[in-house]
Every structure is written in C-alpha cells, then in structure tokens.
Structure 1
Amino acid sequence: MALGTPSVMPGGDPAIGRLVRVAAPTFSFEFFPPKTERGNELLWQAIRELEPLHPSFVSVTYGAGGSTRGRTVEITERIATETTLTPMAHLTAVNHSVAELRNLVGRLAEAGVRNLLALRGDPPGDPMGEWVRHPQGVDYAADLVRLIREAGDFSVGVAAFPYRHPRSPDVASDTEYFIDKCRAGADFAITQMFFDADDYFRLRDRVAAAGCDVPILAGIMPVTRMSTVERSEQMSGAPFPPALAAEFERVADDPEAVRQLGVEQASRLCERLLAGGAPGIHFYTLNRSTATREVWHNLALPTVAAGG
C-alpha cells in the first residue's frame, strides 16, 4: 500500500515520506503560528536554538478553521528560504473551497515547500462541535490527500491516533479511516500526542495487520506543567495514564519538579518507542526549545543530514 516517493523533491526539498523509510529513526519538531509579536520572537528563538540539532524536518501547524492560514504559509516559506531546515506545512479542509486549497498548495510549491500534512481539521471555536463542510470543499482528509497528489509532486503525511480519534465510534472504524488516507496517497503519518507507548504499538500493529506499511512517527510532547495533564484528553483524545498522573500529582506544588519529571518521562517514553521500532519521534514544542532539547540530549539522537 505504500506509495514510493523520491528522496529529494523538485527544488532539492527532501521528501519526508522517503526520509522516514531510509533514515530511520528520524526526529522532528512542530511549531505553531503565534498571535503576537512577542510570540513571534519566541518562535524564531526556538527555531534558531533547535536548528543546530539538524532535525529531519520541522512542521508548522494550521489554526482551527484556517485561522492562521496566512501566517502558516509565511512561516513555512521563511523556514524554507532563511534556514537550513526542511519545512512541512499543515493544511486543513475546514472553511476552504477546493480552489482555495489548490491555491495554497501552489503558493507553497512556489516557495519550494513540497512536504504537506493533510488534515481535515477541527471546527473553529469548539473542536468537538459539528463539522460542516465548505460548500465547495472536501469532506475528509483522504479527499485532501488526493487533491494534493493531483496538484503535483508532493510528499504527503496524515494524522494517526494511538487511542482513536475523538469522533471515531470505535477503534476498528478509526483504523479503517486511517487506511483510507493511506490508500488515497499518504506516504507517512504522525500521531497525535500520547503518553503510553502501548497505545502506539497497538496502533502500529493493527495498521500492519490490515496490510498497510506506511511509517507512523510518534508524536511526543514533554509535560512541563500540570495543565498539560489536566487537558490531555482534550488535546489528544486519550485519557492521561492514571499511574503517570499520580506521579505528577505528587510533585504538583513544585513547578520545577513537574518540568523535570516531564522531561524524564518523555525521555523514557521515547527510548521505549525507539527500542520497539518506531521510525521516528515528532516533538510538539509549543514554540519552546528547552524541554525538547533536554529530551533530545537524553536520547543522544543522531543528527540527520538534509536529504537523508
């Protein structure tokens, strides 16, 4: 079911779908478009501090309802032209017509961005609210994957959910939805954040049992504050592991102890994932570099040269 992609896209941009197969384990970082000038300064500080680690690629998220569309494109373009990093832009179907989506894909291609993460996206305002398709848009992430594939030579990633997507009625149907995205042309996937390695391995094994060999990168976010524990299910669709929550509760009154425990826990989780054969780790940075760099150093991860 895997669709082969070249190791280097037009313009010299490494194809992530190929990279995760030939250069595993990979590691990568995710950023989001900030809303303020101070936030923008922090974002670029984090990018500059993480760039020397030579990640396999970095990604830039797309706000709910396409709310950060312009900033996502601008930041991705700037990363492509002003840094040594390989950028991947997120693209969602919410509130966008097919014509708008094609225009965005074309603009990114003109900037040399040939790696895209195709997501249906959440409704603006309430992530669990009713999803309404744009009258001239698409219904599912699989449709968006096909649209990108038809637009040109791109490496396309999709989301995976170790526990299951909050909108999926059960694990079996969630697996079917994922397989549909792979059949549409996705050549790699990145999971939503999770905190239990067994959830990842169960996802990988059931996808493999369905005959799909698309590489699934593990999405990891170090817990640096108690609010992450409290909001875990809302952010990831999965309940925070009770035993791990108890560990954090014991140090809840000490913010620095919470942060240290979060870095240690993330490091242990990544070690187990890599030992179990995960093809890569994708760090959700929240536009900060310190905790991610600490985990990276704990793992003694190798640097990956551009293009694999």
Structure 2
Amino acid sequence: MSEGKAKEMGGHVEDDGGLPIVAAARNAVRVSFEFFPPKTEKMAESLWEAVKRLEPLAPSFVSVTYGAGGSTRERTHETVVRIARETAMKPAAHLTCVAATQGEIDAVARAYWQAGIRHVVALRGDPPDGQSDYVPHPGGYAYASDLVAGLKRLADFEISVAAYPEGHPQSPSLAADIDNLKRKIDAGATRAISQYFFGADVFRRFRDRVAAAGIVIPVVPGILPVTNFGQVVKFSAACGATVPGWMHRAFDGLDDDPDTRRLVAATLAYEQVQALEADGIRDFHFYTLNRADLTFAICHLLGVRPAK
C-alpha cells in the first residue's frame, strides 16, 4: 500500500527499519553493465531497448563485447559509438589480441579515441571459431598485458582487464593467474572486472588472494543473472566457473516455467550482491545478455534507481 493510499484510508506510515531484502538500498552502490553487439536487426532492437531501460540508472560505464577472433569488430565499434552519441552513458569498448596485427589493433584504438571513447576493456581474447588453442597472431599483441602496454603508448586510455576468481581455464595454477593479473596492472590497467561466479565465498577467497599479492586497483565482481540455466551450465564448463549444487536444485523443474525461472534468477543474483555489499563492496558489473529486466530489478533492490 502506498503512503498516500494509507493516509486516504485514515492510517499512518511508520519507518519499521526496512525489510531485510532492501536493507542495502541505504548504501551507495555503483553499477556498470555489459552488452554484446547485435547480429540482426531484431537483436539490435532488443539491445537498444535494454540500453534505454538501463540508462536512467546512471551506470559508471557500460561495456560492449568483442566476438571470438575479432568477429564483431565493426559491430562493436558501431554499438559503442552509438551509445556515446545517443545516450548519457560512458561506453567502454572491448578489444582483444586475436586475429589482428599490432598495427590493425592500434588503428581500431585510435578510431575509438577520435570518436571520444576513453575507456577500453583489454583482453587476450578467445581463439577463432574452429580452434581450441590460443596462438598469438604473427605481428600481433601476444597477451592482454602486451595489449594494455600498447594502448597506453597510444593514448591515456582508462583500461579495464579481466580477472578470474576461480582461475583462467588455461592457467596452470591460481598463483600463476594472479601473477598474470599483476602483469596487466603493471602495464597500466586501472580496474579489473571479474568473470562471473556463483556464491559470495568464491569472490571472498579471490579477494584475499588479490590482497595478499599486493594488488590495490579495484577488482569489480561480475554478476550474471541466470535466465537459461542449461546454457550457463554448458558455458561454465568451458570457462572454468563452478555451478554449485544449490543452483541445480534451485532451477530444477523450471525448464518450461520462464516466469518462475526469472524470479529465482533475480533472487539468487540479488542475494549474492547483497552479501558482497555487506562486506563493503560498492561496485558491481552486470552481464546483462542484452536484457534489462532482471538487472533493473536487482538494481532497484540495491537502491540504484532513476533520479526523480
């Protein structure tokens, strides 16, 4: 019941301290969002609906991904530039080392700078379709740390890099993975964004390892609200993210019940964010999959809402 309706009915409104689920709304949380470039006109419409729906939340930035093997280079550029031109949001362009020489990547980076894009998410990148192993391109940047250093030589970009709470699937150990993150920071990265994970303890353990290594730049947890549980299970097996048993139980029997699935997805993602927010974390990066509904609902509970 609204406050106005309560007063109309002769009642009164008291501050009961707030429900636990919205307790975090009293704290200052900052969010950022990730989108991917559309492949079709219909997907472009869906993307832009999500962009406009989330724009009033005033995110710190929004990022646009880069397909495997550089397959979406032009679409990524078009999407980033359009967001910069037609919204108030600050876009960050993903850029990878795959399938391009240093000169070609430098040209893309210069084009972004000339278009007013000052933030790049620098990644090694996945192998092109049909290839299982990553092989540096002849004459290209071999790894993300090399790409970061190259971008810094070109211009004073703000650079975000990837971090892996459970380790990169191709890394020989968690310690080696942390060492690789340090190399990217030493090359000039200013922020790390984590791979998605499930359960706050996964990120807590990673944060402890990062702190023990002397890493002081912000490491932002990446949050994935799960809409298609089967797809997430398959993708997680490839990227090294653990899908715990409690998530299997939570989504069991919901394959043909999308409405309940969305409610469960929003609840689980919010609980994860709330637990980390209670630890003092204030920045969260949402993998939207070009859908706004779940991310918007979670942000609302966190107190991230359109300005009145």
TM-score normalised by structure 2 residue count = 0.87
User: Over aligned residues, Cα RMSD in angstroms?
Assistant: 1.8
CA distance in 2, matches of 1:279, 1:148: 28
What SS does the aligned partner of 2:127 have?
Answer: coil
Q: Judge conservation of contact 1:225–1:259 (CA < 8 Å) in 2.
A: no
Greater alpha carbon shift after TM alignment, 247-256 vs 162-171: 247-256
Residue by residue over 1:231-254, the C-alpha shift from the partner in whole angstroms, topping out at 9 and shown as x without a partner, is 242464212011222121154442
Residues 171 and 182 from structure 1, CA distance in 2 versus in 1: closer, same or farther, beyond 3 angstroms? same
State how far apart, in whole Å, the 1-side matches of 2:76 and 2:176 are.
Answer: 31
Distance 2:302 2:128 in 1: 37
**1 CA distance for matches of 2:218 and 2:28?**
10
Answer yes or no: is 1:182 the counterpart of 2:185: yes
Matched, 1:87 2:74: no
Q: Using the aligned pairs only, state the percent identity.
A: 46
**What SS is found at the alignment partner of 1:295?**
helix
Amino acid across the alignment from 1:255: P
Larger Rg: 2
**Conservation of the 8 A alpha-carbon contact between 1:116 and 1:154:** yes
Residue 247 of structure 1 corresponds to which residue in structure 2?
Answer: 250
- Using the TM superposition, give the Cα deviation of residue 295 of structure 1 relative to its aligned residue in structure 2, in angstroms: 1.0
Aligned twin of 2:293: 290
CA contact (8 A) 1:179 1:207 kept: no
Taking the aligned partners of 1:50 and 1:126, their CA distance within structure 2 comes to 35
Which residue number corresponds to residue 135 of structure 2?
132
What is the aligned counterpart of 2:80 among 76, 80, 84?
Answer: 76
- Give TM-score, length-normalised by structure 1: 0.87
> Using the alignment, how far apart are the partners of 2:133 and 2:306 within structure 1?
42
**Superposition pairs of residues 1-308 of structure 1, within 5 angstroms:** 25-125=29-129, 129-234=132-237, 236-301=239-304
| Gapped regions of structure 2 (runs ≥ 5) | 1-26
* 1:255-289 Cα shifts (integer Å, max 9, x gaps): 22121101000010011111112241111111111
1:172, 1:200 → 2: CA distance?
Answer: 15
1:16 matched residue in structure 2: none
SS in 2 for 1:219: strand
Distance 1:26 1:104, change over 3 A: same
Query: Which ranges in structure 1 are unaligned for 5 or more consecutive residues?
Result: 1-22
Structure 2 residue matching 1:192: 3-state secondary structure:
strand
**C-alpha contact 1:216 1:278 (8 A) present in aligned 2:** no
By how many angstroms is 1:205 displaced? 1.2
